[in-house]
Amino acid sequence: MPKDTTARNQEMKQDWEGGMPVDQIAQKHNLSVSRTETLLRGMSVKFTDGRRTKKTSKLNKEQLAMEYNGGKTVRELASIHGVAYSTMHRYLQLAGVQMRSRGSAGRR
């Protein structure tokens, strides 16, 4: 007998509307993040408020700016915080950080 997914999907939408990030919804329902996003989009959910995953919701732009200005590279910060280079670069730009030129001064 096939499993009724209507109740599960409605619960997922309620979780989203209640503020739960997609990765937590996926884990709760034993689904991949990608599949969860697809199902939520099918219920007209818009991903516009930064709650797709909990990683980025925990990033403090001011703290990241201090670490970057203290000498850490974008790649180091991305690795430390478990996000992509592009995500870290975007967060630093949003924090108003003056970005350094790429590469090491010692290699020029």
Q: Does 89 lie in the same domain as 65?
A: yes
Does residue 64 fall inside a structural domain?
yes
What is the number of structural domains in the chain?
2
Does residue 75 fall inside a structural domain?
yes
Confidence (pLDDT) at 67: 92
Q: Does 63 lie in the same domain as 44?
A: no
Spell out the per-residue pLDDT of the chain, length 108, in tens: 456 789 999 999 998 888 888 888 888 999 888 888 889 989 988 776 555 554 555 678 888 899 999 999 999 988 887 778 888 898 898 889 999 987 765 444
Candidates 59, 70, 25; CA nearest to 45 is 25
Confidence (pLDDT) at 58: 67
Q: Does 11 lie in the same domain as 32?
A: yes
C-alpha triplet 96, 97, 99: angle, nearest 5° = 135
Q: Does 72 lie in the same domain as 92?
A: yes
Residue with tokens 């790429």: 102
Does residue 67 fall inside a structural domain?
yes
pTM over 0.85: no
Residue 10 phi, psi dihedral angles, 5° rounding: -65, -40
Produce one character per residue of 21-44: b if its CB has 16 or more CB atoms within 10 Å, e if not: bbbbbbeebebebeebbebbeeee
| Residue 72 structural domain | 59-97
Confidence (pLDDT) at 79: 83
Confidence (pLDDT) at 103: 73
Does residue 104 fall inside a structural domain?
no
Does residue 90 fall inside a structural domain?
yes
